[in-house]
Amino acid sequence: MQKQLLLGAEAVAQGAIDAGMSGVYAYPGTPSTEITEYVQNSEFASDRKIRSQWSVNEKTAMEAALGMSYAGKRAMVCMKHVGLNVAADAFINSAITGVNGGLVVAVADDPSMHSSQNEQDSRFFGKFAMIPILEPSNQQEAYDMAYVGFDLSEKFKIPVMLRFTTRLSHSRAGVQTKEIKEQNPLTYPEDPIQFVLLPSNARKRYKGLLAVQESIEVDSEKSKYNIYYKASSQAELDSASMDEIPKQSASGGRNDNDKVSKNSLGIIACGIAYNYLMENYPERNCPYPILKLGQYPLPYSNVRRLLNACEKILVLEDGYPFVEEQLKDYLDKSGKIKGRLDGTIPRDGELNPDIVGKALGKQLKSGRSIPQIVVNRPPELCSGCSHRDVYLALNETIKEFGKQKVFSDIGCYTLGALPPWNSINSCVDMGASITMAKGAADAGVRPSVAVIGDSTFTHSGMTALLDCVYENTSVTVIISDNATTAMTGGQESHATGRLEEICIGLGVKPEHVRILTPLPKYHDEMVKVLREELTYDGVSVIIPRRECIQTVTRSKKEQKVKEVSN
């Protein structure tokens, strides 16, 4: 088998392709986007006819993946952590329906919020759904876990979550690939009502999910991703291939140290935290016993073993104190468990080797200071961006009506919250601009304006617009249409070429669907139209339409390359 240099996200994609996946469903979101892009760009995936188009949002992606699993095929659904909130209804219920073909839910979390609204930890969702969770510590494990995740899902007949974080997703390492599997044949579920969650059936299915919990715990106990390292033994075990580690020596072998005298400290290192820990021990000779965790539910017997063998336990995890909370009774004042809850590790933000080193009482080596020439550059709209012209016109118009009446959403246009624009007053979650504008209008705000991008509109603005139409609420919705999903790198937008029809189809009066061209030469016309619609007592939609200049430039370049190569 060959070795490839892959990003963590790409390793997940390659693992799924090699495992015989028939389709990936996703909505873009950093740091998960590269998984689907990798499948889209893979010739091998295309030869195998692996389905990989973007979905309109994470919920539709989750449901479509469940449909593919219903048909007996292996499917993966990918999203960023906040996307799982959107998919939650389908996600939680998919644990009750169970699966037919293997179903892997790949979720990329973003601690420290590099490009997100929060740093929620998806492992809580996995536990809530009562399904196995896999958490890789490096790119090789990202590949391996995607590969075996489908087997695990088919073994227990439930979805499996594959959870990882930004640094793993966006850094590269060599990955050894495995044997390529054939795709599953189309087969229907043995039980024709397996997927029918009528209460009588759902109750039965839920009992089934409860019944399988013991087996998934036993599987976790035996998992090769959950390894108990005796003090200073990582070098020996890490040098063996994971597949070769004899269970006894990896997790069951007794260390006299463990038996006779207690270790002052034991460490639980989850996912990438194990990598950070080993960066502090380049010789792989950590003097404390370590429980490396990569599969949940928690392997309780090994956890107990570590707890018994050590005076104190340091829990290292990237994200929320998920494991720590499970170990630490809130009423326990013994101080034995150290981690994010007692301040040994900062309560928020992503983990890194320095934070781990500090928690271990190591002297930190300071790196070079940042040269003066490197200055912090706040993000801003590209020069020539169409959103700029929209905000120029909106700012001029809105000042006639007073401040704080503009609700916005998530996309490049959110930068309109920053100077010099200061144009928008909210950004909460995808689709919230229109619904918040509706609530504010219901409360008496006039005019009440929503600014949303074309991709965000089809993601979750359409139902919000229908709410407005249903009650004929006085809102003006500006759909700033740049014909792409610019913020995440320019994926295609489901709205392109059909926005007016969608709005009219949802019930907006055709004369109040206004198309504009956001260019400086049309500024006065834009102000005029905005003024007309802002004073209209009902639902109006304004669509300023001009393609994102980044995608225009990119397609011009691609065209040139084509011409040269022809």
Ligand X SMILES: Cc1ncc(C[n+]2csc(CCOP(=O)(O)OP(=O)(O)O)c2C)c(N)n1
Where do contacts with ligand SF4 occur on this chain (CB under 6 A)?
Answer: 381-382, 385, 387, 412, 482, 486, 548-550
Nearest distance from C-beta of residue 76 to ligand X, angstroms? 17
The nearer residue to ligand X, 324 or 454, going by C-beta atoms, is 454
The nearer residue to ligand SF4, 450 or 486, going by C-beta atoms, is 486
Cα separation values, 351 from 265, 339, 345, Å = 19, 11, 8
Residue whose CB is nearest to ligand X in the complex, by number: 453
Nearest distance from C-beta of residue 501 to ligand SF4, angstroms? 23
Q: Where are the alpha helices (DSSP H) in 269-382?
A: 273-279, 300-309, 322-327, 353-359
Nearest distance from C-beta of residue 144 to ligand X, angstroms? 27
The nearer residue to ligand X, 80 or 328, going by C-beta atoms, is 80
- Residue 120 is encoded by which pair of tokens? 């929620």
The nearer residue to ligand X, 152 or 499, going by C-beta atoms, is 499
The nearer residue to ligand X, 120 or 455, going by C-beta atoms, is 455
Nearest distance from C-beta of residue 296 to ligand X, angstroms? 24
83 makes contact, choosing from ligand X, ligand SF4, none, with CB < 5 to 8 Å by partner type, with ligand X
- Residue 295 is encoded by which pair of tokens? 């599969």
235 makes contact, choosing from ligand SF4, ligand X, none, with CB < 5 to 8 Å by partner type, with none
63 makes contact, choosing from ligand SF4, ligand X, none, with CB < 5 to 8 Å by partner type, with none
Question: Three-state SS string across 377-417, please?
Answer: CCCCCCCCCHHHHHHHHHHHHHCCCCCCCEECCCCHHHHHH
Q: Are 146 and 24 in contact (CB under 8 A)?
A: no
Q: H or E segment at 450?
A: strand 449-453
- Rounded CA-CA distance 527/524 in Å is 5
194 makes contact, choosing from ligand X, ligand SF4, none, with CB < 5 to 8 Å by partner type, with none
Nearest distance from C-beta of residue 435 to ligand SF4, angstroms? 23
What are phi and psi for residue 329, nearest 5 degrees? -70, 130
The nearer residue to ligand X, 82 or 250, going by C-beta atoms, is 82
Nearest distance from C-beta of residue 311 to ligand SF4, angstroms? 54
Task: Tell me 508's DSSP state.
Answer: -
Beta bridge partners of 79: 107
381 makes contact, choosing from ligand SF4, ligand X, none, with CB < 5 to 8 Å by partner type, with ligand SF4
The nearer residue to ligand X, 15 or 411, going by C-beta atoms, is 411
The nearer residue to ligand X, 102 or 411, going by C-beta atoms, is 411
Nearest distance from C-beta of residue 460 to ligand X, angstroms? 8
Q: What is the DSSP string of 228-239?
A: EEPTT-HHHHHH
Name the packing angle between helices 139-156 and 199-222 (round to 10°).
130
- Rounded CA-CA distance 87/79 in Å is 9
3-state class (DSSP) for residue 298: coil
- Rounded CA-CA distance 368/366 in Å is 7
The nearer residue to ligand X, 74 or 494, going by C-beta atoms, is 494
476 makes contact, choosing from ligand SF4, ligand X, none, with CB < 5 to 8 Å by partner type, with none
- Rounded CA-CA distance 40/54 in Å is 10
Which strands make up the sheet holding 449-453, listed edge to edge? 406-407, 449-453, 475-480, 539-544, 513-516
Report the 10 Å Cβ neighbour count for 336: 15
410 makes contact, choosing from ligand X, ligand SF4, none, with CB < 5 to 8 Å by partner type, with ligand X
Nearest distance from C-beta of residue 487 to ligand X, angstroms? 3
485 makes contact, choosing from ligand X, ligand SF4, none, with CB < 5 to 8 Å by partner type, with ligand X
Q: Rule CB under 6 A: which residues touch ligand X?
A: 27-29, 58, 80, 82-83, 86, 410-413, 430, 453-456, 482, 484-488, 493
Nearest distance from C-beta of residue 457 to ligand X, angstroms? 7
